[in-house]
């Protein structure tokens, strides 16, 4: 029996969701991913949307430009250091599905590196008659000759794993092979893997992830592999992890009872011993015998309480014996949070967000003492440590901001050297970036970035695109998007990036502020930013569009159903929308720590206040929304978008819908697919907002 309560008044007034039992949902057939009826419906929707959106005057020029950008030979080939080689995975017009290639560091430093192709995914796909998507590899140190290559048919998270010889450049005959599953593996030695996979009944969680880790010896059937670890049936996942350091390789197993909580087990002799850190702490690695972890809540150890968001280090051996001596390597503040941690041979690298701008530090540990120095950055943008190696203290980093094309730096001998930069894919002349704050419903100040085009005037008429995410402790920081620049900014649009609660801009507290029963706050924050843009005459409802994907798709879905008067256009990408059934669809059960459990009446009381599929009503004037998703998305079920579209159309609301057959949880598997969906989005936005 479903309990239905009246919602609290939301801004314009009370919105009572339409709720029905799952068995009464008339669109359950659209959850049949490859069902004949469902796919016929998808094809019909695709035909209409493609025909109408490709007829928008801007379509052809935007598509041409996006293809030029995505296939450009001037893009930065992202480096990965493995032994004496720099590896890179590359896609362009000639290599649609991509090539794995390598070169020496000396060659990579040059303007035109001498690349050697290691694996051609296009050739493999043609030879095997399968549209393979490369999903990465796990190589065996220290010589990195053998690797487990992950391949997906269609781009989903489930992959087939095959052993590959990186020297011989071919798959190993009679080597390790694992059929398709959501899975992962680490090397123990050249003849042994630790693998988490689908081993049959009881080995996978309700979220579709492995619960069992096994040790598999070369030359033996996978069915005879020895069980190393078994998680509980109601856990989210269990995966093996390898931490490579100059001293040794540590083998671990991570067991997650829910999102953002994990037990980490370290192999010590023949046993797995749990690391003595809080369940909700984030394991950050092992460096020079020091265990590194960050806190998601205040933690008392010994005589001291360490604050939420801090990065701590403690002697691993002492901690395993009960020691409680720690050094706080980073202490958060209201506007400064930990972003990332990485390690070279002798240095720890730590990046932070200071009011949503990056800062980078290099730390040393000698004689029991830590040292720290800041590495200067070109501006108030975003930094990423791209690649490190345990063989050297040299490393690669990238820097970018909204108007500065990304640059790759090699930090060598303590000095930064710019190796290469993206070209200016759009003319940023006259454009301006500024940071602002909106006041949310409960009085919290919500920061956002605003990028205005040349000649901008605050007269309420500027076509404006507001982007948001607001979940899973993911920070939205400044970045250079060539496609946003060329498709939107250069053509006169305003771009706005909101830093909502639920994200990670200000650490765990910012995330926790919009969890579960407080989820409504991320929607209120987003709406507050929209209202601020209107109040300051940046734009008006007739010229304001919103965009978000995945959790961001839920965000914009909730925003337009709560406040349809605020928006003229909505791009809802690979979204969650039916929050009554999200935990029954693909990986959805793993997100209940974020959203709540809709099968628990007390949780449904608050979930129903922002579940778009239940909020949409027939007698409301909504914007003509553009929904898109992917058939092969095995993370967020395409049924969310399908059912929302079917329901809105039945109510008489016009919508656009497009479903890419490939792509997984993203914008496509090839540059052509990415360019086409990007072009459809901006053609839609211009048709609605110009």
- pLDDT tens by residue, 248-262: 999 999 999 999 999
Q: Residue 495 belongs to what domain range?
A: 36-67+425-689
| CA 381 vs CA 50, 368, 376: distances in Å | 36, 34, 12
Q: Distance (Å, rounded) from C-alpha 570 to C-alpha 465?
A: 9
Residue 455 in any domain: the answer is: yes
With a cut of 70, list the residues of the chain below it in pLDDT: 1-23
Dihedral of CA 477/481/484/485: which sign? positive
For the chain, counts of helices (H) and of strands (E): 14, 39
Residue 1 in any domain: the answer is: no
Residue 259 in any domain: the answer is: no
Residue 91 in any domain: the answer is: no
Instruction: Out of 550, 590, 669, 687, pick the active-site residue.
Output: 550
Dihedral of CA 201/203/209/215: which sign? negative
> Which string of b and e fits 631-642 if b means at least 16 CB within 10 Å?
bbbbbbbbbbbb
Residue 439 in any domain: the answer is: yes
Residue 642, C-beta contacts closer than 8 angstroms, at least 6 positions apart: 27, 30, 31, 38, 41, 42, 629, 657, 659
Helix (H), strand (E) at residue 617: none
* pLDDT value of position 3: 25
* pLDDT value of position 6: 28
* pLDDT value of position 250: 98
CB of 487 closer than 8 Å to CB of 678? yes
Residue 207 in any domain: the answer is: no
Nearest to 151 by CA among 141, 142, 138: 138
CB of 196 closer than 8 Å to CB of 181? no
* pLDDT value of position 522: 98
Number of domains in the chain: 1
Helix (H), strand (E) at residue 610: none
Q: Is 107 exposed, middle or buried (0-12, 13-18, 19+ CB in 10 A)?
A: middle
* pLDDT value of position 413: 86
* pLDDT value of position 468: 98
Instruction: Out of 387, 637, 665, 687, pick the active-site residue.
Output: 665
* pLDDT value of position 414: 81
* pLDDT value of position 640: 98
* pLDDT value of position 501: 98
Q: Directed axis angle between helix 639-650 and helix 551-562, to 10°?
A: 20
* pLDDT value of position 206: 96
Residue 672 in any domain: the answer is: yes
> Is 687 a residue of the active site?
no
Q: What is the pTM of this model?
A: 0.95
* pLDDT value of position 23: 55
**Residues listed for the chain:** 690
Gyration radius of the chain over CA positions: 25
Residue 108 in any domain: the answer is: no
Q: Distance (Å, rounded) from C-alpha 608 to C-alpha 3?
A: 11
Local structure of residue 455 (DSSP, 8 states)? T
Torsions phi, psi for 656 (to 5 deg): -110, 145
Q: What is the CATH number of the domain that holds 593?
A: 3.40.50.1820
> Is 540 a residue of the active site?
no
Q: Distance (Å, rounded) from C-alpha 565 to C-alpha 429?
A: 34
> Tokens standing for 127?
């030879």
Proportion of the chain in helix, strand, coil states, percent, rounded to 5: 25, 35, 40
- pLDDT tens by residue, 91-101: 999 999 999 99
- pLDDT tens by residue, 552-592: 999 999 999 999 999 999 999 999 999 999 999 999 999 99
């Amino acid at each position: 029996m479903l309990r239905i309560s009246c919602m609290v008044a939301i801004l314009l007034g009370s919105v009572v969701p339409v709720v029905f039992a799952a068995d009464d949902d008339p669109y359950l057939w659209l959850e049949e991913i490859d069902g004949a009826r469902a796919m016929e419906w998808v094809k019909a929707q695709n035909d209409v949307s493609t025909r109408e959106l490709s007829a928008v005057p801007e379509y052809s020029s935007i598509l041409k430009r996006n293809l030029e950008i995505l296939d450009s030979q001037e893009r930065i080939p992202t480096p990965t250091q493995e032994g004496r080689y720099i590896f890179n995975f590359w896609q362009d017009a000639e290599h649609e599905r991509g090539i794995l290639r390598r070169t020496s560091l000396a060659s990579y430093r040059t303007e035109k590196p001498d690349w050697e192709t290691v694996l051609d995914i296009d050739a493999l796909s043609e030879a095997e008659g399968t549209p393979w998507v490369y999903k990465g590899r796990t190589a065996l140190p220290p010589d990195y000759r053998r690797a487990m290559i992950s391949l997906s048919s269609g781009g989903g998270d489930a992959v087939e794993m095959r052993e590959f010889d990186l020297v011989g450049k071919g798959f190993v005959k009679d080597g390790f092979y694992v059929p398709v599953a959501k899975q992962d593996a680490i090397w123990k030695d050249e003849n042994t893997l630790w693998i988490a996979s689908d081993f049959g009944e009881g080995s996978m969680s309700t979220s579709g992830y492995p619960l069992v880790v096994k040790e598999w010896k070369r030359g033996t059937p996978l069915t005879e592999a020895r069980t190393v670890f078994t998680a509980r049936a109601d856990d989210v996942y269990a995966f093996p992890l390898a931490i490579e350091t100059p001293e040794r390789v540590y083998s671990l197993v991570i067991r997650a009872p829910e999102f953002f909580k994990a037990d980490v087990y370290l192999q010590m002799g023949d046993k797995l011993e749990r690391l003595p850190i809080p369940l909700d702490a984030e394991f950050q690695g092992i460096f020079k015998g020091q265990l590194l972890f960050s806190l998601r809540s205040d933690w008392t150890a010994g005589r001291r309480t360490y604050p939420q968001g801090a990065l701590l280090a403690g002697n691993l051996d002492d901690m395993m014996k009960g020691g409680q001596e720690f050094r706080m390597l980073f202490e958060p503040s209201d506007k400064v949070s930990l972003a990332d941690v990485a390690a070279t041979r002798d240095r720890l690298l730590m990046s932070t967000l200071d009011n949503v701008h990056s800062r980078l530090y290099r730390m040393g540990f000698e004689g029991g003492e830590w040292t720290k120095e800041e590495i200067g950055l070109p501006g108030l943008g975003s930094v990423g440590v791209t690649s490190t190696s345990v063989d050297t203290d040299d490393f690669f980093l990238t820097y970018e901001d909204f108007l500065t094309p990304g640059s790759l730096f090699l930090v060598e001998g303590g000095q930064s050297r710019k190796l290469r930069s993206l070209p200016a894919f759009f003319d940023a002349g006259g454009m301006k970036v500024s940071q602002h704050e909106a006041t949310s419903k409960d009085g919290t100040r919500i920061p956002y970035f605003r990028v205005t085009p040349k000649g901008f005037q605050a007269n309420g008429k500027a076509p404006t695109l507001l982007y948001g995410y607001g979940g899973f402790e993911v920070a939205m920081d400044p970045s250079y998007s060539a496609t946003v620049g060329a498709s939107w900014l250069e053509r006169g649009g305003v771009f706005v990036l909101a830093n909502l609660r639920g994200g990670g801009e200000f650490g765990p507290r910012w995330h926790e502020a919009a969890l579960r029963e407080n989820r409504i706050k991320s929607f209120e924050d987003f709406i507050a930013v929209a209202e601020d843009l209107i109040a300051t005459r940046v734009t008006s409802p007739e010229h304001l569009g919103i965009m978000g994907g995945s959790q961001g798709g839920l965000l914009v879905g909730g925003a337009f159903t709560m406040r349809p008067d605020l928006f003229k256009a909505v791009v809802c990408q690979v979204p969650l929308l039916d929050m009554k059934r999200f935990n029954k669809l693909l990986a959805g059960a793993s997100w209940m720590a974020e959203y709540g459990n809709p099968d628990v009446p007390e949780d449904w009381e608050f979930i129903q206040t922002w579940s778009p599929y239940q909020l949409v009503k027939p007698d409301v004037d909504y914007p003509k929304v553009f929904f898109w998703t992917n058939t092969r998305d095995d993370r967020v079920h395409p049924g969310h978008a399908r059912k929302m579209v079917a329901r809105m159309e039945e109510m008489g609301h016009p919508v656009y819908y497009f479903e890419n057959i490939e792509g997984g949880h993203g914008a496509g598997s090839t540059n052509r697919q990415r360019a086409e969906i990007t072009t459809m989005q901006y053609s839609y936005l211009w048709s609605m907002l110009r």
